[in-house]
Amino acid sequence: MVDRFTVGNDRVLDRRLARYDVQGSRAHIRMLEHIGLLTADELAALDAALARIAEQIEAGDFRLEDDVEDIHSQVELLLTRELGEIGKKIHSGRSRNDQVLVDIKLFLRDELKQVREEVLTLFRTLQALSGKHKEVLLPGYTHAQVAMPSSFGLWFGAYAEALVDDMYLLGGAYKVVDRNPLGSAAGYGNSFPLDRQMTTDLLGFASPVYNSVAAQMQRGRTERAVASALGAVALTLNKFAADCCQYMCPNFGFIHFPDELTTGSSIMPHKKNPDVWEILRGKCNRILSCENEISLLCSNMPHGYHREYQLLKDILFPILELMHECLQMTDYMLAHIEVNTHILENPLYDYLFTVEEVNKRTLSGIPFREAYRQVGIEVNEGRFRYSGGDTAELKASDLGHTHLGSLGNLCNDKIAALMDAASDWK
């Protein structure tokens, strides 16, 4: 009963760390041979055996035996069975604490790289849609009230640029992850002359976490940094999903998706529900909760290892899966989006161009406050008409918006350059 309670879901979650445990161990034994704790022959035997275990893992043939606590013990058990006493030497100079932490960091490094690629894919899709539909006007809203002209180019492009900010945060989390804790042991180092720079180089980390206590303090801090960055991406997707739910509503009718990407009602035959976007919105809210859950788990611990850290995997690992799903599904849905090119034919948007009219009069020499007063009177008396042409026929380029980031100057090329720089981490 105690074992079930304390081990929890670790046996399942640790399978995702198996390849990284072998990767860390292969670097560790090379360092042990370098400082004289293994002979060249022992290194060769251990490395060959670890390579065979790695092949089993990649082939899906690696299994955690029923009476073995975790993946780390299983690897060491297999080595000892095959090599005898030599297998027992692999743990010299390290603790389970730094072994687990380096495994997690190697795992998170790969996960963040995958998230980066998925974000970049979505970014490119949004930018392509922004360019494709840059001329199609779209009502902008403030306070949920009709406000000013926007465009599909502006809308898609806004979410593309939001992903640039998210990428900065992903890169920051990557920098936290990309530091080597191996050799810090249980948090206080040890008396072996370990070459921590060597394992850092072998594993491709940017630097060691130099202070051994600080290395162990990264447990929880690392996961929280990753959760924070994932939360930023999730918040962007969440808001976009909320937009899509609203824009699909017949009261708006701004966008459309094929029937197979929506669902109907059990009693209302006219319904086409945005279930994908609603589920995506909910999953993104779960991702957003992750950082807070990690913070609460780790908030009342003094420095040093505590068993609660084991629960971090239960929190973060499923959230990483949700993040991949949400990014991939958003991109999939956008591949099938259709935009309404006749939105402004609806008289609901007759007052969408009041600001445009005020600005036109101001540019003709009328003081802004007077132009604002004139247009306000016309609206109140029900006789406002935009002087710039038939609003139902207008395109974004007809409105004369030229400043950076406006309807007529989306700056998508400049935003793409920002994303190139933001995503330039290993």
CA–CA separation, 385 and 268 (whole Å): 39
Residue pair 357/387 in contact (Cβ under 8 Å)? The answer is: yes
- Give me the CATH code for the 96-140+149-345 domain, please: 1.20.200.10
DSSP bridge pairs for 151: 137
CA–CA separation, 376 and 358 (whole Å): 9
pTM: 0.93
Residue pair 116/215 in contact (Cβ under 8 Å)? The answer is: no
How many CB atoms sit inside 10 A of residue 347's CB?
A: 9
**Sequential pLDDT tens for the chain (426 residues):** 555 655 566 667 788 899 999 999 999 999 999 999 999 999 999 999 999 999 999 998 888 887 787 888 889 999 999 999 999 999 999 998 999 999 999 999 999 999 999 999 999 999 999 999 999 999 999 999 999 999 999 999 999 999 999 999 999 999 999 999 999 999 999 999 999 999 999 999 999 999 999 999 999 999 999 999 999 999 999 999 999 999 999 999 999 999 888 887 667 767 788 899 999 999 999 999 999 999 998 888 888 777 788 889 999 999 999 999 999 999 999 999 999 999 999 999 999 999 999 999 999 999 999 999 999 999 999 999 999 889 999 999 999 999 999 999 999 999 999 999 999 997
Query: Residue 21: is it exposed, middle or buried by C-beta count within 10 angstroms (0-12/13-18/19+)?
Result: buried
- Over its C-alpha atoms, the chain yields an Rg (Å, rounded) of 29
Residue 276 structure tokens: 């994908």
Residues of the chain with CATH 1.20.200.10: 96-140+149-345
Residue pair 22/103 in contact (Cβ under 8 Å)? The answer is: no
Predicted pLDDT at 63: 87
Instruction: Return the half-sphere exposure (C-beta side, CA atoms, 13 A cut-off) of residue 75.
Output: 33
- Closest C-alpha to 118, from 256, 289, 237: 237
Strands (E), 7-154: 137-142, 145-151
3-state secondary structure of 40: helix
Q: What does the chain come to in residues?
A: 426
- Give me the CATH code for the 2-91 domain, please: 1.10.275.10
| The residue to which tokens 């970049």 are assigned | 120
Residues of the chain with CATH 1.10.275.10: 2-91
Residue pair 315/223 in contact (Cβ under 8 Å)? The answer is: yes
DSSP bridge pairs for 138: 150
Q: Which amino acid is at 201?
A: D
Strands (E), 152-309: 179-180, 207-208, 255-256
3-state secondary structure of 64: coil
Residue pair 218/101 in contact (Cβ under 8 Å)? The answer is: yes
At a CB cut-off of 8 Å and minimum separation 6, what does 158 contact?
none
Q: Which amino acid is at 257?
A: F
Predicted pLDDT at 136: 97
Strands (E), 281-344: 338-339
Instruction: Taking each helix axis as running N to C, give the angle between helix 96-132 and helix 412-422, from 0 to 180 degrees, rounded to the nearest 10.
Output: 170
Backbone angles phi, psi at 387, to 5 degrees: -85, 0
